[in-house]
Chain A
Amino acid sequence: MFESKSGIFFIAGIGFFLLAFLGNGAVPMLMYKDRHEQTAEEVVNKKVLNQFADLAERYPEQFRAAFGEASAERCAEALRLGRQIYVGEGCWHCHSQFVRPVSNESRRYGPVSKTEEYDNELQRPVLFGTRRVGPDLSREGGRRGNDWHAVHFYRPRTVSNNSPMPEYPWFFDGGPDKPNRRGLALITYVQWLGSWLDEYPYYEELAEVKGE
């Protein structure tokens, strides 16, 4: 058995793989199978809509060309596109989306991450992250204004001293005051991160970011 073809093929090859998959994959899948996976439409909330409307107000021509009006439906579209850009550009290789219960992380970022935060279509595959060159982004929404994000994507070192983050001028039509559709979608996505929490960690006293 230990040196025969069938033993290696069926026991080591298929058997052990399936055993490990049962333990490491199927168990969590079964544990969470009854959780409802939210759609992008369902995760749109007041706070992110508020940011979306702010983008429409701040960059009216660009916004009209990209999304038309600042409706909930268009916001969901921006979230989907924004997530695709976030993944395609490799943002998640340098920014995690997961606050750990150790190393003072809840003091820096906000509440520790919970399973229900990841039950939506924008977490396919889940973006826990792999490395933090830059900070965690799962509580980034509402911390900074849309104009800050626009300038930061255009040239990070303008607003963040010595930042090693690359520049993304292709999210703009020529200048940081002219974000294009990809840029607007990505900013909306970043402003959505953490907006599902009851309170923003730092700026909760500001009515406009709370969406009231």
Chain B
Amino acid sequence: MTSRSQTAAAVHDRPAHGDLVDERIILCYYVAALTFLTVSMLAGILMALQLVHWNPLNGVELLSPGRWRMIHTNAVAYGFLANAFLGTLHWAVPRLTFHKVASRPLSWFIFVAWQAIVGLTAIGIIVGPTFQDQPWLLDLAKQWRLPMNLGAQGLEWGETPFWIDPVALLGLALVAVNFMVPIGRSKGPMYVSLWYFMAAFVWTFLTYAMGNLLPEYAVAGTSAGAIGGLFIHDLVGLFVTPLGWGLMYYFVPILLKRPIWSHGLSLVGFWGLAFFYPLQGIHHFLYTPIPMFLQYGAVISTIAVELVVATVVINFFGTLGKKGSEFFTNLPIRYFYTGMVFYFITCFQCALQVTLTFQKLIHFTDWVVGHAHLVMFGVFSLWLFGIMTYLFPRLLGRPWYSRTLCEYHYWLSSVGLFVMFLDLTLAGVFQGWYWASLQPWDASTDGSQPFWITRVFAGLTMFAGLLCFLFNLWMTWRGAEAAERSTSQFAAAAT
């Protein structure tokens, strides 16, 4: 550990914030992230309307809900989360390491390339199937037995068309280099956030390579299923989760102005997650022909990681300690801790639903969809909203136009999400029993209607929250007079 005098010396030679952080690129990443989030939520609403027979655009090829459902998931993972994470890393990594990223031109190249990758993925998914019927594609498929799809490929989050996969891999490698250089140059033991970031750069690249190459080009059938399960699992566990927690370890102590409660628990949390998280891929395909002993292994590791998660959450609530009132007064902190509560619910739910007993009933139902929304929106999106709420005033150099709109954003997002989660979880239980009872299939789709209608409105509530945020951001950006005097610390511009 660094001694007190060394710390003092380090603070003394600390380079200026302006030399370290390129604020413009963060703003650009955030704008891209919010754009893709808007697209993604509109796509989700389209699919939700389809299920309740309210889709006014039924039968329009380029607006097919089947294709837009993939835009929904891909735009969230690669458009919103990845962009928002990359932007925030441009703030956090240089400030943590006291070193600039490897190269600013490279940063901009990555930014442009990543938007091209996500944009082209979307275009491929939407337009690809229309032009699928090409003789050369069928020849490739016949000669090389490759599943050549101009549009989506048949793996969740691996839908990225085959002609984009190599570019995306190159992009991820460049991201790793760009941020690993400042981490490598930093001296002494690394802070917790950097453990998570560093591991995430390695994991994301490896995970993406595994999922987008092996099941398409190397293996078919059951073993491809095992790898597919590992891929979709690792993408949440080894890309989104470590970046998310790394940022929490960075922002929470800064906002609360107190250190993380227990360094030991931080160690347990990181190494426990690193060891157990990747071992669980097969739990997505229980009761498949994948060998049973592998399924049991995945179930046990999943239950093990919930214990690890508990230590992380305990550590953060220990950090909050007697400053509990910050939860009510400090909006970013409220976002962060709401996300942590949702994270704990998600993981607790995981330990139950991963068992074979639960799987019998809930596999293939909306229960799983509810779980996915709780993780991706309830945890990571809320955290990123909190970070954006904290950083935008600093990046733009002026307080939020309206604190009330920030509050609306929080309440509409978190309440809408929680209603959606409860609704879909319950729907899943009903669907599972409809199916097992051997009633005609219509019984399950008709019986789901009340839940699906509720889900439409829950989704619209979350979207309304986003619109509040976008309007607030627009007004703040163009420098409109603040609508009300703000006394809260979060709204103050950077010093």
CB pair B291–A20 under 8 Å, yes or no, is: no
Take A103-B436, A164-B445 as given contacts and tell me if A5 and B198 are in contact as well, using a CB distance cutoff of 8 Å. yes
By secondary structure, the B interface counts as helix
CB pair A166–B66 under 8 Å, yes or no, is: yes
Known: A8-B195, A94-B66, A126-B215. 12 other contacts (CB 8 A): A5-B183, A5-B190, A8-B190, A25-B281, A80-B142, A87-B152, A88-B152, A90-B66, A113-B289, A121-B141, A125-B228, A126-B222
* 10 A-B pairs closest in CB distance: A13-B202, A20-B278, A88-B129, A90-B66, A118-B221, A125-B215, A88-B151, A12-B274, A115-B289, A132-B364
CB pair A32–B221 under 8 Å, yes or no, is: yes
A-B pair number, CB within 8 angstroms: 273
- The closest CB in chain A to the CB of B356 belongs to A102
In the complex, what residues of B have CB within 8 A of residue A133's CB? 51, 445
Interface size class of B (residues with CB under 8 A): 35 or more
In the complex, what residues of A have CB within 8 A of residue B432's CB? 103
CB pair B153–A87 under 8 Å, yes or no, is: yes
Take A93-B66, A103-B360 as given contacts and tell me if A164 and B50 are in contact as well, using a CB distance cutoff of 8 Å. yes
Given the complex of chains A and B, what is the CA–CA distance between A13 and B282 in angstroms? 20
- The closest CB in chain B to the CB of A105 belongs to B435
Take A23-B294, A25-B210 as given contacts and tell me if A126 and B221 are in contact as well, using a CB distance cutoff of 8 Å. yes
B158 at the interface (CB under 8 A from A): yes
In the complex, what residues of B have CB within 8 A of residue A126's CB? 154, 215, 220-222, 224-225, 228
A134 at the interface (CB under 8 A from B): yes
- Name the residue in B130, B152, B184 with the highest tally of chain A Cβ atoms < 10 Å from its Cβ: B152
B174 at the interface (CB under 8 A from A): no
Q: List 5 A-B contacts (CB under 8 A).
A: A32-B219, A77-B142, A87-B153, A104-B437, A123-B221
Given the complex of chains A and B, what is the CA–CA distance between A12 and B275 in angstroms? 7
Give which listed residue, A24, A81, A130, A168, contacts B281 with CB less than 8 A: A24
Give which listed residue, B158, B199, B222, contacts A28 with CB less than 8 A: B222
In the complex, what residues of B have CB within 8 A of residue A40's CB? 142
Give which listed residue, A9, A17, A166, contacts B50 with CB less than 8 A: A166
Interface residues of A (CB under 8 A from B): 2-5, 8-9, 12-14, 16-17, 19-21, 23-25, 27-29, 31-32, 35, 37, 39-40, 77, 80-81, 83-85, 87-94, 96, 98, 100-105, 107-108, 113-115, 118-121, 123-135, 160-164, 166-170, 181-182
Q: Report the minimal beta-carbon distance from B124 to chain A, rounded to whole angstroms.
A: 9
Give which listed residue, A107, A123, A166, A182, contacts B58 with CB less than 8 A: A166
- The closest CB in chain B to the CB of A135 belongs to B441
B206 at the interface (CB under 8 A from A): yes
Give which listed residue, A31, A104, A181, contacts B133 with CB less than 8 A: A181
Given the complex of chains A and B, what is the CA–CA distance between A14 and B201 in angstroms? 11
CB pair A24–B145 under 8 Å, yes or no, is: no
Give which listed residue, B146, B203, B290, B438, contacts A17 with CB less than 8 A: B203
In the complex, what residues of B have CB within 8 A of residue A20's CB? 230, 278-279, 281
Q: Report the minimal beta-carbon distance from B407 to chain A, rounded to whole angstroms.
A: 35
CB pair B132–A85 under 8 Å, yes or no, is: yes
Given the complex of chains A and B, what is the CA–CA distance between A8 and B359 in angstroms? 34
In the complex, what residues of A have CB within 8 A of residue B65's CB? 166
CB pair B271–A12 under 8 Å, yes or no, is: yes
Given the complex of chains A and B, what is the CA–CA distance between A24 and B189 in angstroms? 32
Given the complex of chains A and B, what is the CA–CA distance between A124 and B153 in angstroms? 9
B489 at the interface (CB under 8 A from A): no
- Name the residue in B129, B214, B280 with the highest tally of chain A Cβ atoms < 10 Å from its Cβ: B129
In the complex, what residues of B have CB within 8 A of residue A166's CB? 50, 55, 58-59, 64-66
Given the complex of chains A and B, what is the CA–CA distance between A2 and B198 in angstroms? 13
Take A5-B190, A135-B441, A163-B445 as given contacts and tell me if A124 and B216 are in contact as well, using a CB distance cutoff of 8 Å. yes
CB pair B297–A23 under 8 Å, yes or no, is: yes
- The closest CB in chain B to the CB of A4 belongs to B189
In the complex, what residues of B have CB within 8 A of residue A13's CB? 198-199, 201-203
In the complex, what residues of B have CB within 8 A of residue A29's CB? 219, 223, 226-227
Give which listed residue, A3, A24, A37, A100, contacts B279 with CB less than 8 A: A24
Give which listed residue, B145, B156, B226, B278, contacts A121 with CB less than 8 A: B145
CB pair A16–B275 under 8 Å, yes or no, is: yes
- The closest CB in chain A to the CB of B227 belongs to A25
CB pair A164–B52 under 8 Å, yes or no, is: yes
B61 at the interface (CB under 8 A from A): yes
- Name the residue in B154, B183, B198 with the highest tally of chain A Cβ atoms < 10 Å from its Cβ: B154
Q: Report the minimal beta-carbon distance from A41 to chain B, rounded to whole angstroms.
A: 9
Give which listed residue, A5, A37, A125, A181, contacts B216 with CB less than 8 A: A125
CB pair B364–A88 under 8 Å, yes or no, is: no
**8 A Cβ contacts from B243-279 to A:** 267, 270-271, 274-275, 278-279
B476 at the interface (CB under 8 A from A): no
B471 at the interface (CB under 8 A from A): no
Q: Report the minimal beta-carbon distance from B73 to chain A, rounded to whole angstroms.
A: 9
Give which listed residue, B142, B287, B369, contacts A100 with CB less than 8 A: B287
CB pair A87–B154 under 8 Å, yes or no, is: yes
Given the complex of chains A and B, what is the CA–CA distance between A102 and B431 in angstroms? 15
CB pair B158–A125 under 8 Å, yes or no, is: yes
Given the complex of chains A and B, what is the CA–CA distance between A196 and B152 in angstroms? 27
B101 at the interface (CB under 8 A from A): no
Take A104-B438, A135-B441, A169-B59 as given contacts and tell me if A89 and B223 are in contact as well, using a CB distance cutoff of 8 Å. no
Q: Report the minimal beta-carbon distance from A21 to chain B, rounded to whole angstroms.
A: 7
In the complex, what residues of A have CB within 8 A of residue B113's CB? none
- The closest CB in chain B to the CB of A108 belongs to B438
In the complex, what residues of A have CB within 8 A of residue B294's CB? 23-24, 27-28
Given the complex of chains A and B, what is the CA–CA distance between A28 and B432 in angstroms? 29
CB pair B220–A124 under 8 Å, yes or no, is: yes
CB pair A130–B156 under 8 Å, yes or no, is: yes
B19 at the interface (CB under 8 A from A): no
- The closest CB in chain A to the CB of B368 belongs to A131
Given the complex of chains A and B, what is the CA–CA distance between A3 and B263 in angstroms? 11
- The closest CB in chain B to the CB of A132 belongs to B364
- The closest CB in chain B to the CB of A20 belongs to B278
